[in-house]
Structure 1
């Protein structure tokens, strides 16, 4: 974590798992004052904002975006953002955690790319189409009928894919030399296909055709994170998916994500998530049923 970021408040989605679904949608008023915070802050969760009216600006990672609704905005975990002189904000705010993407793991990469170009202005038929899709998400969430969690995931997947189409090429803008960005993009593409070839940074570097040192420099330069951090995220996410969506034993899940020693896998999983694989599997049943999140937690300083 960069030193300059330590003073920036970190907001978490208040999910007393396994009793709550890690997803929320509502107006700026119903989500709460933090949804229009005027001070720089970060999230541990994803935020999608569909602004239908309002004045002011939204600042994301030092880039200032003047409001000219309708606007569709994507904020990914770790990005620093805040509202500047914003008044009369209307629209919908969608909040969800990484665990909510287990049905569509590829959405993580689309969201990461959308976060590089976070503001879009739907025009023509696109604007009412996005408005209808967001309205359906909220209607399903409010109704809370049996099976609504899977419907929410499906609607969210459609929203993310359509936003990616609207954005056109959502890859990060290459730096002046070009090569580091290309290497980083190839690394991200590798991680989008979880398997033995991506469980180690050294294997990824070999497949791309660069040294481990160069891969570290390129990925850190273009994403602000190390390849090791991203690989750990992918291994953890794939392990979660297998624990929730299959009947594989913990030993078998460990082998699928590249751990020959199940005990070492369990230590890795607990370090990355705070709980054991067994605890995550037992809690996932309730988490994926009909429970909704009440609010955002109070801001807190990062550890």
Structure 2
């Protein structure tokens, strides 16, 4: 956990606390999962991939429950608040990866979602390929790292898995190898939005950062997602506010300040307009 984070805030699990190689891989068997801490909710500073083999599991990701079924693949992005709900009867693979290791072409696929990414069911051939590759990856991962080629071998196998996974998600989303300008702009906007959410709330400022006009950015977002720049700014701000209200012990005023609002009363009005309940009502309702 990030020691610099407030004890009242959402815990951030850092990969460097568990490994120095930028990757952690393990096969989990049925009934091996330890019990969660209270609430169990946290963020990670890294990607997490799951390859489900048998059984069923469910995860709560940013207020959406996702179900993982046999022969399916799924990933969690850095910063997404999550916790597991049920997986005592599941078996499969867990892979944690430093974002720096993931090739940009793969990251573009994994991050190309303004809404929550979905699990993908694999056919027998696809699952077999992934499973064999992860077995080999784990074997090399467990070997002595004094081998001068250790990192090169592990990272090469890992990048092969990432490329295969990206190809599955790319096909599932009907993405194309050379995304259109509006699609590229939507991806770039999302990255900027996540990075600058607490400091930039103006559509025109995002347009300026992207070197396009505000009207063109709006047109691109509406074409790809159906919604405007302002909608997505409010959506991401409110999602982060809900995370903090539910999973942390911050007061409403502290939540407002942490999101860049000096006037917490204005933030409260904004929240109620977006969520149809006050911030306190939201906290009480969801914590029942």
Equivalence map 1:23-172=2 (5 Å): 23-28=23-28, 33=34, 39-101=40-102, 104-113=103-112, 116-143=116-143, 144=145, 145-167=147-169, 168-170=171-173
| DSSP 3-state at the match of 2:25 | strand
Conservation of the 8 A alpha-carbon contact between 1:116 and 1:171: no
Equivalence map 1:1-303=2 (5 Å): 7-15=9-17, 20-28=20-28, 33=34, 39-101=40-102, 104-113=103-112, 116-143=116-143, 144=145, 145-167=147-169, 168-170=171-173, 183-185=185-187, 187=189, 204-206=209-211, 208-210=212-214, 217=230, 220=233
Over 3 Å counting, the alpha-carbon distance change for 1:157 and 1:61 in structure 2 is: same
Conservation of the 8 A alpha-carbon contact between 1:72 and 1:120: yes
| Offset, 1:222 | 6.6
| Offset, 1:158 | 2.2
CA distance in 2, matches of 1:166, 1:117: 13
| Offset, 1:119 | 1.2
Worse-superposed segment, 153-162 or 87-96: 153-162
| Offset, 1:155 | 2.2
Unaligned runs of 5+ in 2: 1-7, 176-181, 193-204, 222-228, 239-288
| Offset, 1:128 | 0.4
| DSSP 3-state at the match of 2:66 | strand
Conservation of the 8 A alpha-carbon contact between 1:113 and 1:170: no
| Offset, 1:224 | 5.7
Q: How many positions carry a matched residue from both structures? A: 199
* CA offsets 1:210-266 (integer angstroms, 9 cap, x no match): 2699696366357669xxxxxxxxxxxxxxxxxxxxxxxxxxxxxxxxxxxxxxxxx
CA distance in 1, matches of 2:191, 2:67: 32
CA distance in 2, matches of 1:37, 1:170: 35
Higher relative contact order (CA 8 A, sep 6+): 1
| Offset, 1:126 | 0.6
CA distance in 2, matches of 1:202, 1:91: 43
Over 3 Å counting, the alpha-carbon distance change for 1:209 and 1:171 in structure 2 is: farther
RMSD: 4.1
Over 3 Å counting, the alpha-carbon distance change for 1:158 and 1:16 in structure 2 is: closer
Q: TM-score, normalised by structure 1?
A: 0.53
